Structure 1
Amino acid sequence: MAFFIETLVGGLLAGVMYSLVAIGFVLIYKASGVFNFAQGSMVLFAALTFVTLREAEWGFVPALLVTLAVVVAGAVAIERFVLRALVAQSDLTLFMATLGLSFVIEGLAQILMGASVHELDLGVDDLPIEFGPVLVSRFDLVAAATAGTLVVGLSLFFNFTRTGISLRAIADDPLAAQSIGIRLQRLWRIVWGVAGVVALVAGLLWGARQGVQFSLTLVVLKALPVLVVGGFTSIAGAIVGGLLIGATESLAEIYVGDLLGGSVSTWFAYVVALGFLLVRPAGLFGERAIERV
């Protein structure tokens, strides 16, 4: 029983990390209807910028502040010079634009900072902590606490600030929001800036866990099942979806993997997502599309 609980807790903590990446997608999709496939490249660029500055013997805080400024400025520039010019285009055009952006950002990162694998040390040892008979990774606890703090902060921002309430109004009805004087372009810049902050936190945590390398962009693929399960328009859905995917993936790796004689972690989450698409396409918290004929 202790081993089951240990596996479940480990999966839940990993799920919080998945949720952190998924929230970056939700923020932009909820405010502008754009599925930002470049979010993974933003995660990589943030982590690579930070670790490059640290290797140049910058202090932790100065490196963090400069990386934050670079990532937020880059995210705002993407909205201003790329997405705004395509605002009236189809969803497929916008998706292809962000897909192209992901390769541009990766190429720029490689030109400026090289393609070597970097070790990122955040000063948190990955040692087990005992909770009775259950062992939990210290790094996973710190990462989950960091991600959870960010999630709580975003929830408070969206629910109790004027800007956050305006963003929710835009998500519910953009035309009505414009009719009462809400400036969409200004708020879209804010959303992209916040998505840059989320990319920075995700990049640091994932980079510390698996090293800063170009495969870090593939973390977006882990976010897709989370979005399908939780819904593309809900921060709460991203959290719940991440916890479900993390827990089921961890348990399946131990119990289903033994039955099949191999690892299932690379594909099991997508099986869960496929099941949700068949039963509840909008996800647990997503908004169902209503078509009037």
Structure 2
Amino acid sequence: MAFFIEVLIGGLLAGIMYSLVALGFVLIYKASGVFNFAQGAMVFFAALTCVSLIEHGWNFWLAVGATLAAMVLLGVITERVVLRPLVNQPPISLFMATIGLTFLLEGMAQLLWGAQPHGLDIGVQDVPLEVQGVLVSQLDLFAAATAAVLVTALGVFFSRTKVGRALRAVADDHQAAQSVGIPLHHIWAMVWAVAGVVALVAGLLWGARTGVQFALTFTALKALPVLILGGFESIVGAIVGGLIIGATEKLAEVYIGPYVGGGIENWFPYVLAMVFLLVRPEGLFGEKRIERV
């Protein structure tokens, strides 16, 4: 039983790290209806920029601050250059634009800092900590606490501030929000900037766990099952979906993997998401869409 609990907790804590990546998707999709395929590239760009600055002799917190400013600027420029010219265009055009942005960010990151893998030390070692006879990764605990603080801060921002209420109005109806004087372009730029901040946090945590390397861009793919389960428009759904994917992935790896072969953790989340689509295609916290014809 202790082993089962240990595996389950490990999966839940890993799922929170998936949620951090999914959170960036949700923020942009909720505000503008754009599925930002480049979120994984933003995670990679942020992590590689920060670790490269550190290796060039920068203080850790100074490097984080500089990278934070760069991600905010990147988000604002992306909204201005990519999203704004394509307003009212078909969704597929916006989606293809974010795919192009993915390759641009990947190439820019490697052009600036090189393509070699890097280790990243954020001051928290990925070593087990024994709690009531159960081994838990200290890094996973730190990631969970960081995610909790970030989600709480975003929740307060969206529910208690004037800008947050404007964002929710934009998410509900773009035209109605614009008719009452809410500047859509300013709101979208702010959301892309916040998504850049989320990408930085996710990049630091994933980089500390797996190293900063090109494979970080593929964390975006693991966020897709999270979004399908939780819903594309719900911050809470991103967290819950991440917990479900993380827990089931780890349990499947330990208890089903020996019978079906290795690598089950790579495809099991997608099978789960595919089955879930047949039952509740809008996700646990997504809104049902009814179209009259």
Q: Shorter-chain TM-score: which interval?
A: over 0.9
Q: Secondary structure at the match of 2:136?
A: strand
Deviations 1:132-161 (A, max 9, x none): 121101111011111111011111111111
Residues in 1 aligned to 2:265 and 2:111: alpha-carbon distance in whole angstroms: 33
Q: Secondary structure at the match of 1:292?
A: coil
* Between 173-182 and 274-283, the greater mean CA deviation after superposition: 173-182
For normalisation by structure 2, the TM-score amounts to: 0.99
Matched residue, 1:81: 81
2:126–2:209 CA contact under 8 A, matched in 1: no
1:187 equivalent in alignment to 2:193:
no
Residues in 2 aligned to 1:89 and 1:177: alpha-carbon distance in whole angstroms: 19
Deviations 1:159-207 (A, max 9, x none): 1111111111111111111111111011111100100000000000011
Give the counterpart letter for 1:169 in structure 2.
A
Matched residue, 2:292: 292
Q: Secondary structure at the match of 2:135?
A: strand
Q: How does 1:101-116 map to 2 (within 5 A)?
A: 101-116=101-116
- TM-fit CA distance, 1:102: 0.2
- TM-fit CA distance, 1:215: 1.0
Give the counterpart letter for 1:239 in structure 2.
I
- TM-fit CA distance, 1:65: 0.6
Residues in 2 aligned to 1:28 and 1:261: alpha-carbon distance in whole angstroms: 38
Deviations 1:88-145 (A, max 9, x none): 2111010000001100111111111111111111111112111112110111101111
* Between 29-38 and 151-160, the greater mean CA deviation after superposition: 151-160
Matched residue, 1:21: 21
Deviations 1:53-101 (A, max 9, x none): 0001100111111000011101110100111001121110100000011
2:128–2:136 CA contact under 8 A, matched in 1: yes
Give the counterpart letter for 2:25 in structure 1.
F
Q: Secondary structure at the match of 2:129?
A: strand
2:72–2:193 CA contact under 8 A, matched in 1: yes
* Between 258-267 and 170-179, the greater mean CA deviation after superposition: 258-267
- TM-fit CA distance, 1:259: 2.1
Residues in 2 aligned to 1:208 and 1:216: alpha-carbon distance in whole angstroms: 11
Matched residue, 1:196: 196
Matched residue, 2:256: 256
1:283 equivalent in alignment to 2:270:
no
Residues in 2 aligned to 1:48 and 1:133: alpha-carbon distance in whole angstroms: 37
Residues in 2 aligned to 1:165 and 1:11: alpha-carbon distance in whole angstroms: 34
RMSD: 0.8
Unaligned runs of 5+ in 2: none
Residues in 2 aligned to 1:276 and 1:168: alpha-carbon distance in whole angstroms: 27
Give the counterpart letter for 1:25 in structure 2.
F
2:51–2:120 CA contact under 8 A, matched in 1: yes
Residues in 1 aligned to 2:159 and 2:167: alpha-carbon distance in whole angstroms: 10
2:11–2:251 CA contact under 8 A, matched in 1: yes
**Runs in 1 of length 4+ with deviation above 4 angstroms?**
none
Residues in 2 aligned to 1:58 and 1:17: alpha-carbon distance in whole angstroms: 26
Matched residue, 2:244: 244
1:90 equivalent in alignment to 2:90:
yes
Deviations 1:6-65 (A, max 9, x none): 000000000100110000000000000000001111101100110010001100111111
Aligned length: 293
Residues in 2 aligned to 1:260 and 1:56: alpha-carbon distance in whole angstroms: 46
Q: How does 1:130-149 map to 2 (within 5 A)?
A: 130-149=130-149
- TM-fit CA distance, 1:261: 3.3
Report the identity percentage.
66
Q: Secondary structure at the match of 1:266?
A: helix
* Between 118-127 and 10-19, the greater mean CA deviation after superposition: 118-127
Deviations 1:226-269 (A, max 9, x none): 00000000000001000000001110101111222323100000
Residues in 2 aligned to 1:72 and 1:157: alpha-carbon distance in whole angstroms: 17
